[in-house]
Amino acid sequence: MIRSITCDQTSFKKIEFKPGFNVILAEREKESGEKESRNGLGKSTLIEIIHFCLGGNKGETLSKKNLENWTFTLNVDLAGKRYAVSRNTSGSSKVIIEGHCSDWPIKPEIDDETGKQVMSGKEW
């Protein structure tokens, strides 16, 4: 289960999910006119961030210059254990994993510089 999505940039608002069925909607104000759309509010970008954290390629939005060097973190439950999976838009070949991984078939390595558990995107 995805629990939350965070970012190291203060302009990004933490997104939290609850157990069960979650729906991503864009709110529309009562004063909104008939032609005011819900486009450009981040619904597709959120899906792109989840895809990216799960090992997918950066999409068009995450490749933009203004998102250079942003680190997104997906807080998730896998096999009954909690993990935080982080990926940086500039160093996207590495996935940083926080959590107990000793029982994984492919184990993360410890990064010499940071001391964090890392895997290549391909291994992840």
Predicted TM-score of the model (pTM): 0.85
pLDDT at 42: 79
End-to-end CA distance of the chain: give it in Å, rounded.
17
pLDDT at 1: 93
Residue pLDDT, tens place only, 62-77: 999 999 999 999 999 9
Distance CA 111, CA 115 (A): 5
- DSSP, residue by residue, 56-90: PPP-TTTTSGGGTT-EEEEEEEETTEEEEEEEESS
Structure tokens at 28: 């529309």
pLDDT at 91: 82
82 pairs with which residues across the strands?
77
